[in-house]
Chain A
Amino acid sequence: MDATDNANRFSWAPFLWFTPAILILFLVTLYPTIFVIWLSFQKTKYYELVGFAGLANYVEVLSSSEFWDTTVISLTYVGGSLVGAITLGMASALVLNRAGVTGSALRVFILFPWTLSMSVVGSIWLWLLNPSFGPIPYVIQKLGIDPGLMLGDPGMALPLIIIVTAWWSFPYVMVMATAAMQSIPKELYEAVEIDGGGAFVKFRYVTLTEILPTLGSTALTLSIMYLTLMTLIIVMTGGGPLGSTTTLSFEAFRGTVQAVNIGPTAVVSIVVLLINVALGALYSRLTGRVTG
């Protein structure tokens, strides 16, 4: 590689710079991706391949009611967590923006839960929600309400996991929203003021309009994350009670470790993969990173 290299002439040399990275990505990501597609067409018994299955695995998975229950739980989980995180994140960005020194001092600490691992977050909340000794059920009880089994209650487990997920991720929304708000030109607010617009007009037609692209890409990033998030569920409920917190990703995990029949698990994995790729493509389109 020297300075006289002609950029327009085809040359193998630049590819050498990419070789190590591509080699690892091929072995760890690309090859297993191809392999899982192939696996989904195989008849399997535990981790043994016993012949070509055609579409049998797909038929088995797509015609089972469990799969569709799991899909609905996944969508509820992603949607619910998203609504919680965006609402809390936006609200806290607005509040902290107005709180002067207190706001900027607090902003330093606020991303903190985001750095914690899902196993840690799960353990902490498991303790807080523990029906025998946990402080949260204790407070609820003192308010005169029966807290019940908390995570052990099939009707409450998913909402509780959604709340914990929103708790963990809303600071991320806040950081993104704050960054976007700070790049809004002050003149826009001044223009609204001259026209006699109040706080609501400022929020609706300047703040919200200007940060909407950022909010959109943040929502997509989070959706991708929520869709594939399973550690929190493994720690807090293990998919139960009665399958009420079994998402598609959790199912793919359970299928891998229980390994009764990996063909159908491969199909579930491919479903997760497809949704993920669709969301990712939407994200690239929205942020225009690919054309950069």
Chain B
Amino acid sequence: MSNALSNRPTGQIPAILGSLVIGIIVLGPVLWAFATSFKTEVEAVAVPPTILPSSATLENYIKVFQDAAFLTDLWNSVAYSVGAVVIALIVGIPAGYAAARFSFKGKRTLMLVVLATSMVPGVALLVPTYYLLESVGLLNSGIVVTIILSARIIPQTVWFIANFVEAVPVEIEDSAMIDGASRFQIIWSLILPLIRPGIAAVATIGIVTTWNDYITVAVFAPEVAKRTLQVALVNQVFDAIGISWSYMMAFVMIASMPVILMFGFVQKWFISGLTAGAVKG
């Protein structure tokens, strides 16, 4: 019965080959798009297709940045997603803290209401929200879009922060309180630094979620001055006459760069945020 011993050396070569196949499946399409973004318009549609650009050009990227609306789109993307995450943290930290530290009547109900709102899909709210916004003249409002996006990430923010705070021993707070620290001081200078990795995880997931949103902005703020990179990208797809694939792939790369970079930096936190709660013993 030397199964485990004999399996190892022979089993690893196919596993490594299998891993490479998986790697190609996962990254191949993205790398192809990346390669296309450096091709000239002529080369992008050449038959047979070339894998690597024969002479890499930055012309597509330059064209994207020269587009009149691009900087506005980029700014809107940044403003909406950062704004939404900041709002979610500002309202989520007190609620999560209270859920972890105070016991009071109705707390369970409150937390259930918060959780229940995360079960209402955004798509089911398109018609009523559009109607309500139109009737009060708030379509194409950047602030309204930011608040709507924040509501999408508030439930998870509250629940995660409650979990993080619970993991901090309450004795630390007790001794600070004896020293005369106020509740605000305790949260600001004691709790927040301790749960920083957790906050980084929810913030990252929040930024990725809101940055990648298309529907909310496309339906509630479709105006060119208010749209995001995602909306601009889809509009180009619709505008399929004379589409330049190499230009579009450059746009795709630029629109994805911030989340790719963030993901690279906080990959561990991102994954721990994803798996938290779902995997338990």
Contacts and interface: CB of A to CB of B under 8 A. Distances in A.
Interface of A: 1, 3, 7, 10-11, 14-15, 17-18, 20-22, 24-25, 27-33, 35-36, 39, 47, 88, 92, 95-96, 98-100, 102-103, 106, 108-113, 115-120, 122-128, 130, 132-133, 135, 138, 167, 171-172, 175-176, 179-180, 183, 193, 196, 198-199, 214, 217-218, 221, 224, 227-228, 230-231, 234-235, 249, 252-253, 255-257, 259, 262, 265-266, 269-270, 272-273, 276-277, 280-281, 284, 287, 289-290
The B interface, classified by DSSP as helix, strand, loop or mixed, is helix
B256 A290 contact: no
A193 B4 contact: yes
B114 to A, nearest CB: 7
Contacts of A15: 104, 106, 110
Contacts of B54: none
B150 A24 contact: yes
For the complex of A and B, list the 4 residue pairs with the smallest distance between their C-beta atoms, beginning with the closest: A117-B212, A17-B98, A280-B119, A28-B151
A269 B115 contact: no
A120 B129 contact: no
A16 to B, nearest CB: 8
Given A10-B105, A235-B234, A218 B95 contact: no
Given A106-B19, A120-B233, A127-B245, 4 more contacts: A21-B158, A102-B19, A103-B16, A108-B267
A140 to B, nearest CB: 13
B126 A95 contact: no
Interface stretch (B22-30, B55-63, B65-73, B193-201): B22-30
B127 interface: yes
Nearest to A271: B124
B75 interface: no
Nearest to B177: A3
B76 interface: no
B210 to A, nearest CB: 10
B120 A33 contact: yes
Contacts of A122: 234, 237
Contact of A99 (B12, B44, B92, B158): B12
B22 A95 contact: yes
Given A20-B90, A266-B128, A98 B11 contact: yes
Contact of B281 (A25, A98, A183, A217): A183
Given A102-B16, A133-B45, A172-B274, A253 B215 contact: yes
Given A24-B154, A133-B245, A30 B256 contact: no
Given A128-B29, A256-B130, A123 B233 contact: yes
B120 A276 contact: yes
Contacts, number: 305
Contacts of B249: 123-124, 127
A125 B148 CA distance: 29
Given A32-B132, A117-B211, A167-B29, A98 B22 contact: no
Interface of B: 1, 3-4, 7, 11-12, 15-16, 18-20, 22-23, 25-27, 29-30, 32-33, 36, 44-45, 47-49, 87, 90-92, 94-95, 97-98, 102-107, 110, 112-115, 117-132, 134, 147-148, 150-151, 154-155, 158-159, 177, 183, 208, 211-215, 219, 230-231, 233-234, 237, 245, 248-249, 252, 255-256, 259-260, 263, 267, 270-271, 274-275, 277-281
Contact of B126 (A103, A221, A252): A252
Nearest to A256: B126
A120 to B, nearest CB: 5
A276 B124 contact: yes
B123 A253 contact: yes
A111 B128 contact: no
A246 to B, nearest CB: 13
A34 B47 CA distance: 55
A221 B279 CA distance: 13
Given A17-B98, A117-B212, A214 B26 contact: no
Contact of A106 (B23, B113, B215): B23
Contacts of B219: 253, 256-257
Contacts of A30: 113, 117, 120
A290 B277 contact: no
Nearest to B280: A287
B104 A11 contact: yes
Nearest to B149: A28
A24 B36 contact: no
Contact of A269 (B7, B113, B126, B159): B126
8 contacts: A18-B95, A22-B110, A118-B214, A176-B274, A179-B278, A193-B1, A193-B4, A253-B215
A176 B275 contact: yes
Most buried by B among A18, A95, A96, A257: A18
